[in-house]
Every structure is written in structure tokens, then in C-alpha cells.
Amino acid sequence: MTDTALSENKADVIVVGAGPAGSTTAYYLAKAGLDVLLLEKTAFPREKVCGDGLTPRATKQLVGMGIDISEEAGWLRNKGLRIIGGGVRLQLDWPELASYPDYGLVRKREDFDELLARQAQKAGARLHERCNVGAPIRDERTGHIIGVEAKLGEEKTPVTFHAPLVVAADGNSTRLSLHMGLHRREDRPMGVAVRTYFTSPRHDDDYLESWLELWDKRGTEDRLLPGYGWIFGMGDGTSNVGLGILNSSSAFKELDWREVLKTWCASMPADWGYTEENQVGPIRGAALPMAFNRQPHYTKGLLLVGDAGGLVNPFNGEGIAYAMESGQIAADVIVQANARQTPAQRELALQNYPRILKETYGGYYTLGRAFVKLIGNPRVMKVITQRGLTHPVLMKFTLKMLANLTDPTGGDAMDRIINGLSKVAPNS
């Protein structure tokens, strides 16, 4: 291998995975002047299972990265959340806050991830597509990760990449983390999402829609399941229709969730078009790793961001906002660590990353874990859907709580209550 090839395979930081977490990390690292390799196992454009609906938290991150989120650029804006359950239909606007915009967005993951990856490239990140990362390369003396082995291109050419720091942004399966001995915590909630697309007259709906009643209609008695269904208009003639279910139910492993989705869609009004003949593509599913289900988020030169670190919000299954936020936090920590003069000082700075994550999300995720256990009880879930939705003020509070949309300082009484609860809850 030539000296030029060797230098091309070295960097300050390697980011494995060009989803929202990885591309955001790479963008901020490159913007700060660091040499960063962004390694993506597939080629863009590529599909990912997702609801495609973005809350104001994710919208803020897109604005911060300089992404063009105009309608002319293919984005559909939404005003808030429409909640349906217990015979009630409640429409709630996103809250007006100093910290977040008062609108969300919809965009298919098919090209959403590519937009972020190209933005990272524009900032200076070196992107390798069709780069399948395998085992980590470790320092024999310290055990620190100092690079990765990979197979590049359609020819699957073996190649090694070297950097003193590696970011695992390789999703829920995160093979890199497993190679480094970081396994999933069984005491943290896990969800599953399944979804498909239908051509529908509801494609330009300007509210995200959430259905709180999903029923298991097997046997003699219907069971209310711990999860929700969604309908998100895509603005392109189609709707994204799907459901998210938590593993806090005894039905989690028993049911075929694709069949549950089909049954739910069959119960919809015929003129919405959620029928087999209008279905666009197959039903696809994906896991939702929640509430820090893989820790520590930094160890021996490896930082975990997004789904690799289990950053999905247990209250609502939202992952993109937290993937992007954790990517920005990781990049900030790495940039500061890179400026330290000794290995010991750099390590001290890097150890701050998991502490910042716990300070930022730990208490809130602890509340979310309690919420998951609570709605795992069908009787509690029934009370929530039948009685809670009849109180608009309570539901406004619930929307802020579930979507994690508060002003950290100031704000209204609801903000102060939610922020106070998050602060006093253990941030494990």
C-alpha cells in the first residue's frame, strides 16, 4: 500500500454509520476542523424503517446543521399532534417555546439520511459508502480502539482505517460495540416499530396523528396493547401508517405485529385508502432501543451515539432528535479533548461524554421507564385512553412530557414541573 493510501485511511476520528447520529457527529467534527472518516455500509439513497415524522426537537437540529427545510426542498410541515382514543379526537399544537420551533416536519428516510450525510461531506467529512465495518483494531497494550477493519465497495476489498477515536453510530445492532464488549441492558425497555405506505387522500395532513388504542383481538377478550398507531401524511400522495409496541406487555413476543397492523388498517374508513391494493411497498419492522440500554457511552476510545447507545425516547419512541443531539454532544466533547496536550488530559475530557448524556437525558429517561411499566398494565392503559383524553389541559401537559418539549429555563408552570421531575429522578 502506498503512503498516499495509508494517509487516506487515517483520520482524527472514524464515525461508523451515516445515519442521523453518525452524519451529525461527522458534520460538527469536520466543521471544527478535524479530519473525519464517515463509513456507511450501504449506498445512498437507502431506506430505513421509521415513522418519518419529526418533532420540533429534530427540526431544531436540522436548522442548526444548515439543512434547507423549505417546502420547495421537499419538506412537509406539521402543526402538532392529533391524538385519537377512547372515543375522543384531540388536536394539540406544538408548544410555543423559546428553545424550539413551533412546527415539525415530515420527510422519507429514503433520502433524509443522505441529505445529512451530504451536509457532513460539504463540511469536510470523508464519506465512504458500501463500507462494511467488521472488527475493531485495538492497541495490544491498552485495549483502546485505534481503528477498524472493513470491506470496501462492491468488490469487498479488505481495508483498515486508523484513528485514535472511533464513534459507533451503527444503530441498534451496533456490531462495533459488541466487539468492544458492550452488551444491551436487559433492564431497559425495548420497542418495535412496523410500518408501510399507502396512496391516500390524507397525504397532505398538517398534523401528525397518533392512535392510542391498539387491540389484540384474539381469544374471548380483547386486550389493549401498550403502544400506539400512527398516520403521517407524506405530502407526496402517500401516508406512512405504522405502529410502535413496547416490550412491557406479555403480548410483545406472542403477536405478529405485521398482522396487528393489517387488522388495524382494515378498521379504518375505506375512503382513507389504507387497503392492500393501495399499499406501496412491504410492511417493514425495526427495533427501538430505549433509555440508555447500552452503556457506558464512552470506553477505551469508543463513543456511542444514537441507537447504538439506546437513546430512543421511551415516552414516544422518537429516535432521530436524540440521535442528532447525541452526535452534536459527542462532537463537542471530542473537539475539546483533541485540544488537550496529554493523553491523560484527553481521556479526562472524553470521560465527560457519558456524564453529559446522563445530565441531559438521564432523569427524563428514568421517568420514561416508569411510564413504560405503567402502560404495560392494560387496566392503566384503558384509564389513560378513556379518561385522560377528556382533559385538554392535562393533555397539553402530556404532549410536552411525551415529546420532551420544554424551555430549560423560564417557561410556564408545566415546563417547571416537567424539568423539576427530570432533575430529581435518578439519572442512571
Query: Phi, psi at residue 218, to the nearest 5°?
Result: -80, 155
Distance CA 224, CA 218 (A): 11
pLDDT at 5 over 90: no
Is 416 a domain residue? no
Task: Give whole-number Cα distances, 373 to 112, 226, 369, 385, in Å.
Answer: 33, 9, 6, 16
Is 211 a domain residue? no
How far is C-alpha 196 from the chain's CA centre? 18
Give the mean model confidence (pLDDT) for residues 366-376.
Answer: 83
Please count the other Cβ atoms lying within 10 Å of the Cβ belonging to residue 352. 16
Q: Provide the mean pLDDT of the chain.
A: 91
Is 336 a domain residue? yes
Distance CA 232, CA 239 (A): 6
Do residues 148 and 134 make contact, with C-beta atoms less than 8 angstroms apart? yes
Is 424 a domain residue? no
β-pairing, 145-152 vs 131-138, is antiparallel
Q: What is the pLDDT of residues 117-127, one digit of tens each?
A: 999 999 999 99
Buried b vs exposed e over 251-275: b needs ≥16 C-beta within 10 Å?
bbeebebeebbbebbeebeeebbbe
Q: What is the pLDDT of residues 71-91, one digit of tens each?
A: 999 999 999 999 888 778 889
Please report, for the domain that includes residue 171, its CATH number.
Answer: 3.50.50.60
What angle do helix axes 56-64 and 320-338 make, rounded to 10 degrees? 40
pLDDT at 226 over 80: no
pLDDT at 3 over 50: no
- Record the pTM: 0.94
Distance CA 413, CA 418 (A): 9
- Helices H, strands E: what count in the chain? 13, 21
Give the mean model confidence (pLDDT) for residues 304-323.
Answer: 95
Is 60 a domain residue? no
Do residues 237 and 165 make contact, with C-beta atoms less than 8 angstroms apart? no
Assigned C-alpha cell, 213: 388504542
Q: Where are the alpha helices (DSSP H) in 182-316?
A: 257-266
Give how many domains the chain has, as a whole number.
1
DSSP state for residue 362 in the 8-state scheme:
I
Do residues 165 and 14 make contact, with C-beta atoms less than 8 angstroms apart? yes
Is 385 a domain residue? no
Give the mean model confidence (pLDDT) for residues 139-149.
Answer: 95
Is 362 a domain residue? yes
pLDDT at 398 over 90: no
Assigned C-alpha cell, 252: 410483545
Q: Which residues contact 417 (CB under 8 A, 6 or more apart)?
A: 397
Amino acid in the structure at residue 44: F
Assigned C-alpha cell, 59: 427540526
pLDDT at 1 over 50: no
Longest Cα separation, the chain: 71
Q: C-alpha angle 207/22/107, rounded to 5°?
A: 20
Residues in the chain: 428
pLDDT value at residue 218? 63
pLDDT at 295 over 50: yes
Amino acid in the structure at residue 119: Q
Assigned C-alpha cell, 5: 493510501
Give the mean model confidence (pLDDT) for residues 171-196.
Answer: 92
Higher pLDDT, 204 or 247: 204
DSSP 3-state percent helix, strand, coil across the chain (nearest 5): 35, 25, 35
29-33, 223-227, 405-409, 414-418: which is most confident: 29-33
Is 198 a domain residue? no
Domain span at residue 317?
3-53+109-186+291-366
DSSP state for residue 272 in the 8-state scheme:
G
Q: Which residues contact 419 (CB under 8 A, 6 or more apart)?
A: 406, 408, 411
Mapped onto helix, strand or coil, the DSSP state of residue 80 is strand
